Amino acid sequence: MDEALESQHCIGGITGGFLTIDSSEEFEALLKKSPDDCFLVKAFADFLAGRESFVQAAQHYRKASDLFARGGAVLQAVAAKVMEWHAAGPSRRECRDLYTAIREVRAETRLNDFFCRMAYTELLAVLANLEPLRLPPGFVIEDSGDVEGFLYFIVTGTVSEASAADEEGECRREFSANSSEMNYFGAVYPLDGQKPVPSVIETASSAELLRISRPQLVGLCEKYPKIEILLMRLARAHRLLMENKASYRERRSVRYQLQAQVDMKIFKNQSDKSQLILKGFIQDISLGGACVTLGEKYLTGSPAEIIGKSVKVLINVPKVKIGLNLFGTIAWCREILRGGKSIVIAGIQFRDMTHSDLTFLKKHCYAGEDAQDLISYLWESLPKS
Amino acid sequence: MGISSEELMRFNAGVRQRLEMRENIVAASPKIVAVGGGKGGVGKSTVSILLASWFARMGKQTVLMDADLGGANLHTLMGIRNPPRTLNDFITRRCDSLEEISLNTVMENLYLIAGASDVLSLANIHISQKAKLIQNLARLDADYVVLDLGAGTSYNVLDFFLIAEKKVVVITAQPTSIQNAYAFIRNTVYRRLNQLASQKSSLQAIIKMAMDTNNELKVRTVSELLQIIQELNGREAMAALQEEIRKIQPFIITNMTRTNRDRKAGGVIQTVADKYLMIHSMDLGGIVYDQKLYAMMTDMLPLTNLIQLSDAFASVYGMAMTLLRDK
């Protein structure tokens, strides 16, 4: 077998937990071949910590943390740093390195958001309170009826959750270190609540977790109000994810956050040539259709009256003389309250949108978050003639 | 010694009379229309004069006040070179009421309170003086007070804008003007939120954080901010703030329009303010570019001399009517 491939197999085996190395020399030999393999460096640090070579273990945890952070694996970087502190005591300077590294991470997961948006002192305080856990498969972390007392982060492995109803053969929910969204659990927010755990949560494989208790979080939030905001956002994302999982329907096509002003010509019926002309604004679009927020000039009639009607949508595109014309049908239309005011939104199902149309829109439409940019974009999209 | 029943009746009657008088005063308070917009040179003073002139022509007692505390020149546009009394006389207590410094104009029903641009103390008005000025505005014997605000988004400008029942934002059809006007509305919203949160330091901290457009929490919109406030301070706190934001319903006027495209500039602010600030503004349309008007300004002739043949003046009619009708 090719030597490099063999060493990769070894590393996979060690980090996967089904291959054990029991000498420093073997680890060092592998590390010579793959010095920047973050999982291998961490495995060696674990090995050294098991041998009570804490100073060396701390050095390797530090290196692993740095490698994980540079690779964008924020939670793993944090976990390695916590392990380093457990091996050799906290070091403020070293945390500053981690802080600087993870702030560079741009991956927009909620968990990254939680750690990467903390100020230095906040991150330091959170890290000092995180407790590492190594658990075997089948270990019950929380039993049904326990009080939700901890927030858990899954560093490696998988954790499964089964509610009483689920045990009768229904689906089980899984949290995993490999998931970008389902890699934490524990409904500790709001912090003043005392909610019972509704299900049994146990490890489905060997797992490494970090946890922090509710009282510790209360103390942190009192001292650092921003941590509470981050925690609240983390909890909300989790709640929404759980709700969405329940009623999840896969979309046929990807939606793009493209914003554009549109003019809609609604054809009343085939015999009647008269048209209703409305102006609106789309915020996202897919090959299948778009949701249009109608402007305030939509005044007459019930929204239901235009459902099912054919529509010609002109998407105004900046710096292009004629925008993109698409034909479709109004699939739904309803009034909603936004900011205490009633507005009308309509869902358009396109009949003839092609991939090249979408590419054209992606090239020319605005997809950012900044208000000032949106102003420039909208201004440019106003028809010049 | 106790009070006799006769004395008590007299006392109660006196209290009732005073209360009635106070209610009458409140009921008679003028409606304040503030004209702002952030950017200098967009024509805030011109629009103020045109609006005030229409109010006066419609028989409303109207006071036009130069609230550009650092750079007053409304009187020049009204054909008055050296106003005999200015806002400075009121601020420095040479005059006790705003009525005393109101000047007659050539137009019936229209009065002017001139500012003074060369007075340093006026440009940097103290908070107590600002409070006194605001209180006295409400006591003016008029139907409408039109405030011509200065450029920029200083607290003085925003506070005068916020006290107005009708808030008019003037823009020109240029991206820079639209951007400034949006920033002006955004600062108005956050100034109001700050005022409301003044008693709660935790709330103030969140609002302060959200005011920074590059904040670490990535709060980009007022709706996101309110969501956080709801989670941290409860639904009631959030709803109260939302209701206050709802009350800031600016009217957008695009000045000096030449093309159809120019007239749609207000729509851009409408869209962006709705998306980011939860502000539902009303686009009042455009005032056409009018060469006659600019010739009069150059010749230092009072703009109130404009006759109905002026295109600019004519295009303000509908706007003035909308402002008068709007509850």
CB contact under 8 A, A370 and B282: no
* Paired tokens of A277: 């002309």
pLDDT at B24 over 60: no
Cα-Cα-Cα-Cα dihedral of B201, B202, B204, B207, to 10°? 170
Residues B56, B109: contact at Cβ < 8 Å? yes
| Cis omega (within 30 of 0) for bond into A90 | no
- The model's pLDDT over B171-230, given as tens digits with 9 standing for 90+, comes to 999 999 999 999 999 999 999 999 888 777 778 888 888 888 777 777 888 988 998 888
pLDDT at B27 over 60: no
CB contact under 8 A, B216 and A117: yes
Count of domains forming chain B: 1
Q: pTM for this one?
A: 0.64
Let me know if residue B182 belongs to a domain.
no
Regions of chain A with pLDDT less than 50: 1, 166-170, 246-252
pLDDT at B306 over 50: yes
| pLDDT confidence of residue A1 | 44
- The model's pLDDT over B50-59, given as tens digits with 9 standing for 90+, comes to 999 999 999 9
Predicted ipTM of the assembly: 0.79
pLDDT at B133 over 80: yes
Structural domain of B268: 29-174+249-325
CB contact under 8 A, B268 and A236: no
Let me know if residue B242 belongs to a domain.
no
* Chain B residue whose CA is closest to A280: B271
Phi and psi torsions of A260, nearest 5° = -160, 150
Max mean pLDDT among A241-250, B154-163, B305-314 falls in: B154-163
CATH classification of the domain holding B49: 3.40.50.300
Let me know if residue B216 belongs to a domain.
no
| pLDDT confidence of residue B177 | 93
CB contact under 8 A, B278 and A382: no
Where do the domains of chain A lie, and which CATH numbers do they carry?
3-106 (1.25.40), 131-246 (2.60.120.10), 260-381 (2.40.10)
The three-point CA angle A338-A339-A344 to 5° equals 25
* Chain A residue whose CA is closest to B217: A117
Q: Least CB-CB distance to A371: which of B182, B216, B232?
A: B182
* Paired tokens of B156: 């003085």
| pLDDT confidence of residue A4 | 53
Let me know if residue B320 belongs to a domain.
yes
| pLDDT confidence of residue A332 | 82
Let me know if residue B13 belongs to a domain.
no
Q: Give the orientation angle of helix B265-277 with respect to helix A371-381, to 10 degrees.
A: 150
Choose the mutation target among A110, A222, A230, A379 for the interface with B, i.e. most B CBs under 10 Å: A379
CB contact under 8 A, A384 and B246: no
| pLDDT confidence of residue A167 | 44
Question: Residue with structure tokens 């009069």?
Answer: B296
Q: What is the H or E stretch that residue A110 is in?
A: helix A110-116
Choose the mutation target among B268, B270, B279 for the interface with A, i.e. most A CBs under 10 Å: B268
Let me know if residue B45 belongs to a domain.
yes
Q: Least CB-CB distance to B231: which of A113, A117, A232?
A: A232
Residues A75, A183: contact at Cβ < 8 Å? yes
- Percent of chain B residues past pLDDT 70, beyond the cut: 88
Q: Least CB-CB distance to A339: which of B182, B209, B246?
A: B246
Residue (of B295, B294, B269, B292) closest to B282 by Cα position = B269
Which of B:152-181 have CB within 8 Å of A? 175, 178-179
| pLDDT confidence of residue A250 | 38
Residues of B in contact with A371 (CB under 8 A): 182, 186, 213, 220, 272, 275-276
Cα B301 to the center of its chain, rounded Å = 25
Let me know if residue B241 belongs to a domain.
no
How far is Cα B271 from Cα A148, in angstroms, rounded to an integer? Answer: 44
Q: Where are the alpha helices (DSSP H) in chain B?
A: 5-27, 44-57, 74-77, 87-91, 98-101, 120-123, 127-139, 155-163, 175-196, 201-211, 222-233, 235-247, 260-263, 265-277, 291-298, 311-325
Decide: residue A269, CB within 10 A, 0-12 exposed, 13-18 middle, 19+ buried: exposed
Max mean pLDDT among A205-214, B79-88, B248-257, B258-267 falls in: B248-257
* Radius of gyration for chain A, computed over Cα atoms and rounded to the nearest angstrom: 27
* Chain A residue whose CA is closest to B273: A371
CB contact under 8 A, B271 and A281: yes
How far is Cα A214 from Cα A146, in angstroms, rounded to an integer? Answer: 13
Residues B228, B198: contact at Cβ < 8 Å? no
Residues A346, A328: contact at Cβ < 8 Å? no
